[in-house]
Amino acid sequence: MRIKQVILLLLIYTSCYSQTTYFSKNWKETSKEKAHFYRHTKSINDSLFAIKDYYINGILQMEGSINAEQEETLHGRAIWYNDLGQKTSSMVYENGIVNGIVETYYNDTLVTTGIYKQDEPFNGQFANFERKIYMKLISTYLNGTKVSEYFPYHNGLEKGAEVFYQLDGLNSEFPLKKVFYNRNGDVIGDVFYKADSVYPNEIVKGTLFEFNDIDGFITTILTKKNYKNGKKEGEAVYYDLDENVRALGIFKEDRPFNGFFIFRDRQEEYLNGKQIGQEIYFDYDLNVIAQVSIIDEKPFDGITIDGASKYFYEKGVLEKINYYFINTNLKDLESVIDYHDNNTSHRMWYNQEGKEIAKCLFNDGQPFEGVYYRAYQNLYETYKNGQKTVFDKIDEGDQKQ
């Protein structure tokens, strides 16, 4: 066969080449029956192949081209789609490196455009997505430096909070200013950060808004606090999940002074800088789950909560503590403390059926007499007159008699 005919046949084969490949959810090649994605590959010329990746239901996931001589190396423009078929991003590659225009889309609409240089953002705006559907934040770069970024409200593009960064010195990635918005796009407050601080987020002045969130996405306003000279000063407002005012308080020199204050899972009341009234504990849905009266700034009657533990007070005396252990064979650990009897207490452990499996007398906070159970190690220790005499490990389900 003549050389010209061989070359002609090779060109015909190359131009007609196409195949379908199947991939697992981790993009490992697999069989059609186990596939989560599949790819159609077709030759463009002797150096490039066009590829189209699909979700297993036939919706386009990505389209672009790869270098024939370097397997899986993107070259040229590539476009990605979510599993709803909506375009999410477009990038320009040079032999596997992002180099050129980068676009991001939300609900099939172009929202940001920027320029990458050598696989790094250089100029313009760039968006990050969660699960390729929800816009999580949008960053702005100038000559390779991030100058600002904003966090939108959940399921939307409206700004919730926008951070502006310091652009020089050792703290170039520390925030300089943060601006807060409502869903109508109106500025509702801002704070300024200390420029020469060794710690990020050290507020100097302004009005700080904190937000409720769903999986890290802004939903509604949670709190509003004012700062002056680096300290909380003046009115603090706390909101419920519908942004109705839940509590109002006044800070003085960074400390609660008058009114009601929300601290994570509880509400406290203050008068002239001293805690009074009731300390109330809430679950995530803001249902009351415990409360205690406060006298002389100390718990008096009721229950306080610290993490997974409950503390029971009666007339100013801590009577009992209930500890709850996760992923053990215990129902709970109940500690009964009597401070009127030489600082002694009894501690009892219960299994999932509520049966006592260990009991130990404590003296000055240390095991003294009986069986001490270490839940996470599944270990039983027997004490007599403060000395450990037996050390056992019992299989799960067994009980120490």
Torsional sign, CA 377, 382, 388, 390: negative
Q: What is the pLDDT of residue 8?
A: 36
Enumerate the β-bridge partners of residue 266: 263, 281
243 contacts: CB under 8 Å, gap ≥ 6? 220, 221
Give the pTM: 0.73
Low-confidence ranges of the chain (pLDDT < 70): 1-17, 69, 129-135, 156, 168-172, 215-216, 327, 332-342, 391-401
Instruction: Check residue 338 and give its pLDDT.
Output: 59
Residues 6+ apart with CB under 8 A from 260: 238, 247, 248, 249, 267, 268, 269, 270
Contact 177, 162 (CB under 8 A): no
Q: Where do the domains of the chain lie? A: 1-68, 324-401
Q: Per-residue pLDDT tens for 127-157? A: 876 555 556 788 999 999 899 998 888 776 7
